[in-house]
């Protein structure tokens, strides 16, 4: 299984602009997929994550249950999400849209870094036992609270194998 990394950049004062990172393999808890928040190349904190339910390979179309790969931006937040809190990833980018158009499919969208489904916060870290999202990057509710404070809107991220 491939490794996945999410690098998000934010500046030294915790505002938009320096860096956050998410890396790991695509196999849930057993394989250790993870995300990390970094500042100027220094990892501040690392988080174990769950990815899309079919995590091997890049997202190419709507409904493929894959986590996208590429350079994106954390562009908006939802404090009242169905998943505790969520931060939107700007997938699809121009390259993703062109690739989907060439295949005659929709690239999909609505990809987020988010917490657990509302009412299921008690599941906690055990949610990572299996990759279960539709293509998002999931952390615990406590972890999304930390990430929410650590990175701002406009933060550039890279998701890669």
Instruction: Write down the pLDDT at residue 6.
Output: 56
Name the residue with higher pLDDT: 16 or 96.
96
Gap between the Cα atoms of 46 and 125, Å rounded: 13
Going from N- to C-terminal start, the domains of the chain cover 3-160
Residue 134 in this model has a pLDDT that exceeds 90 = yes
Q: What CATH number is given for 3-160 in this structure?
A: 2.40.440.10
131 in Cβ contact with 51 (< 8 Å): yes
Greater pLDDT, 71 or 116: 116
pLDDT of residue 158: 76
In terms of DSSP H, where are the helices of 24-159? Answer: 28-31, 94-103, 141-150
125: pLDDT strictly greater than 80: yes
Task: State the Cα–Cα distance between residues 70 and 98, nearest whole angstrom.
Answer: 14
Would you say how long the chain is, in residues? 161
Q: Average pLDDT of 127-142?
A: 93
- Please choose, from the candidates 126, 121, 129, the residue with its C-alpha nearest in 3D space to the C-alpha of residue 145: 121
> Is 60 exceeded by the pLDDT of residue 97?
yes
User: Which pLDDT value is given to residue 136?
Assistant: 94
pLDDT digit string, tens, across residues 58-88: 899 999 999 998 888 899 999 999 999 999 9
The predicted-structure confidence for 145-158, as pLDDT tens digits, reads as follows 999 998 889 887 87
pLDDT band (50, 70, 90) for residue 2: very low
Q: Per residue in 12-55, pLDDT tens?
A: 444 444 444 444 444 444 456 777 777 777 778 888 889 998 88
């Amino acid at each position: 299984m491939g490794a996945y990394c999410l690098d998000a950049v934010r500046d030294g004062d915790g505002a938009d602009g320096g860096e956050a990172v998410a890396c790991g393999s695509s196999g849930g808890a057993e394989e250790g997929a993870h995300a990390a928040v970094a500042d100027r190349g220094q990892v501040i904190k690392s988080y174990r994550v769950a990815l899309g339910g079919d995590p091997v390979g890049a997202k190419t179309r709507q409904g493929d249950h894959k986590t996208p790969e590429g350079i994106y931006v954390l562009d908006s937040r939802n404090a009242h999400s169905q998943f505790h809190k969520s931060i939107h990833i700007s997938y699809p980018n121009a390259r993703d849209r062109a690739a989907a158009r060439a295949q005659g499919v929709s690239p999909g969208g609505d990809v987020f870094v988010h917490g657990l489904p509302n009412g299921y916060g008690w599941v906690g870290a055990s949610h990572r036992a299996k990759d279960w999202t539709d293509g998002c990057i999931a952390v615990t509710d406590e972890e999304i609270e930390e990430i929410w404070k650590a990175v701002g809107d406009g933060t550039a991220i890279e998701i890669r194998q």
